[in-house]
Amino acid sequence: MKKDFYDFGLIGLGVMGRNFILNVADNNFKALGYDLDDQKVNALIEEGGNPDRVNATGDLTEFTQGLSHPRKIMLLVPAGKIVDQVIEDLLPHLDKGDIIIDGGNSFFTDTDRREEYLQSKGINFFGSGVSGGAKGARRGPSIMPGGNREAYQHVKPIFEAVSAKYKGEPCVAYLGPKSAGNYVKMVHNGIEYAMMQLTSEIYDVLKKGAGLSNEELHEVYSSWNQGRLQSFLVEITAEIFEQKDDLADGYLVDAILDKAKQKGTGKWTSQNAMDLGIPIPTIDVAVSMREISALKSERVKAESIYPKGEIQSRPKEELIAEAESALYFSFIMAYAQGLHQLADASKEYGYDLNLSEIAKIWRAGCIIRAELLADISDAYTALPELDSLILSPVFVDKVNETLAATKGLLSYGMRNGIPLPGVANSLNYFHAYTSGRLPLNLIQAQRDHFGSHTYERLDRDGIFHTEWED
């Protein structure tokens, strides 16, 4: 193995790692992989074709000696303890100034801890979200790096070359210090959960309300993908409805158990939003729906106790039009909530995030890529300190023109027992956020009544307490 030869090292040659390293090699950077599994090492050497272009080893000394300085080593291993273990294994082989990049979905406080620890040893650590799944890793993911700004200059040319491109612009940017990259990726995933929930409930209402077949659903989602709803998730949803089952007759989607799994990033987004005090109800309910979905046997039992009445059917074209608007409206609310969380986290954790830039690097490569993101980026370019996307002049008309249909779809769903929690939370979030006066004055009165918790007044400054009449 040649020493000081390879530009980029990658640890973890699973599906993501193998695809990412081949992408690096395709972009004319000499890449070296490492994995404990000989099969994975050999598979990469074979697939790479030329060891001067891409090579692999199961020997950590050989791996680290093979890399040029400062070493740039990316980890694509499962988040959690394994990341700490790999760091410990690597440390004796590294020199000051070397760079470790964690490309997994690590929890952001773990990244802060690791960054501080490695900084004390003179090693630069990047928590870097990578989105786009296996295909993205191979053909161009969206990359969200955070860490030391100066050290990023060494990584920048490689990341810019391998990332997805939107109209020629790379979908990667230095996002901020410490765990900024992992945090942004976590919220990306929260938005991803919301968009997946929304596309699923819209499918439900179209199927139950207008009897759309899988072929028709394919047509509807495909045509939506040509319009303002253009997005990766709408695109793959259209593809899913076309897929025939190869184990039985019919379409695959109908044979899949309705229990959605999760690895935790959506839940972390909600948990941290609660800690920050930022409302993200569309994302929250997307997490809750995965939890409700897991209660399959309870749901089946409950349905027999509370049988659903007959659903009043709707003309197809009318329901499809309403659904399109409701989905668009709710997508806007999901992005608005996620970006609001990012704005607040940026202040709280000192990330100094540029929301326009973040929207830009989400325009291609990642799971939540959508036509809408170009408008979102414009909204934040025009007003970087925007409190909420909803307040942006770029979005006022888009929200107003979809509001009536969203209300129509939701009331139809509620009357007919079709759960639409994502749309409902999006609409209620909007109604609440745009209410100058909410009934929470009553909650303050109740708190003061039973617990002397005090309240403030509209008409004068100060903190008040009342001896309420029994």
Which residues are the active-site residues?
185, 192
What is the token pair recorded at 197? 């929930």
The widest CA-to-CA distance across the chain, in whole angstroms, is: 85
182 in contact with ligand 6PG (CB under 6 A):
no
Closer to ligand 6PG by CB, 69 or 263: give it.
263
What is the token pair recorded at 11? 């640890």
Going edge to edge, which strands form the sheet with 99-102? 54-57, 31-34, 8-11, 72-75, 99-102, 124-131, 142-146
Q: Tokens 């897991």 map to which residue?
A: 294
Closer to ligand 6PG by CB, 109 or 262: give it.
262
Cβ-proximal residue to ligand 6PG, closest one: 131
CA atoms within 13 A on the CB side of 15: 5
192 in contact with ligand 6PG (CB under 6 A):
yes
Instruction: For the CB of residue 267, give the shortest distance to ligand 6PG in the complex, in Å.
Output: 8
Please provide the DSSP assignment of 204-227 as one string. HHHHHHH---HHHHHHHHHHHTTT
Give 31's strand partners.
8, 54
Instruction: For the CB of residue 261, give the shortest distance to ligand 6PG in the complex, in Å.
Output: 6
Pick the closest to residue 362 from 454, 233, 261 (CA basis).
233
131 in contact with ligand 6PG (CB under 6 A):
yes
Handedness of CA 37, 43, 46, 51 (dihedral sign): negative
Instruction: For the CB of residue 338, give the shortest distance to ligand 6PG in the complex, in Å.
Output: 13
What is the token pair recorded at 323? 């659904």
Q: Are 269 and 129 in contact (CB under 8 A)?
A: no
What is the token pair recorded at 245? 């089952």
What is the token pair recorded at 302? 């409950």
Which window, 128-136, 151-159, 166-174, 242-250, contacts ligand 6PG (CB under 6 A)?
A: 128-136
Closer to ligand 6PG by CB, 366 or 410: give it.
366
Closer to ligand 6PG by CB, 179 or 265: give it.
265
189 in contact with ligand 6PG (CB under 6 A):
yes
Closer to ligand 6PG by CB, 132 or 209: give it.
132
Closer to ligand 6PG by CB, 189 or 392: give it.
189
Q: Select from 3, 263, 301, 431 the one that contacts ligand 6PG (CB under 6 A).
A: 263
Q: Residues touching ligand 6PG: how many (CB under 6 A)?
A: 13
Q: Select from 27, 68, 230, 262 the one that contacts ligand 6PG (CB under 6 A).
A: 262
What whole-number distance in Å separates Cα of residue 175 and Cα of residue 354? 7
Q: Select from 48, 132, 176, 421 the one that contacts ligand 6PG (CB under 6 A).
A: 132
**Residues 365 to 404: which contact ligand 6PG by CB under 6 A?**
366-367
265 in contact with ligand 6PG (CB under 6 A):
yes
Closer to ligand 6PG by CB, 105 or 426: give it.
105
Give 130's strand partners.
143
44 in contact with ligand 6PG (CB under 6 A):
no
What is the token pair recorded at 330? 């709710």
**What binding mask, one character per residue, do residues 82-121 give for ligand 6PG by CB under 6 A, x or -?**
-----------------------x----------------
H helix or E strand, kind and range, residue 400: helix 393-415
Let me know the angle formed at the C-alpha of 233 by 232 and 234, rounded to the nearest 5 degrees: 95
324 in contact with ligand 6PG (CB under 6 A):
no
Residues near ligand 6PG, by CB under 6 A = 105, 131-133, 189, 192, 261-263, 265-266, 366-367
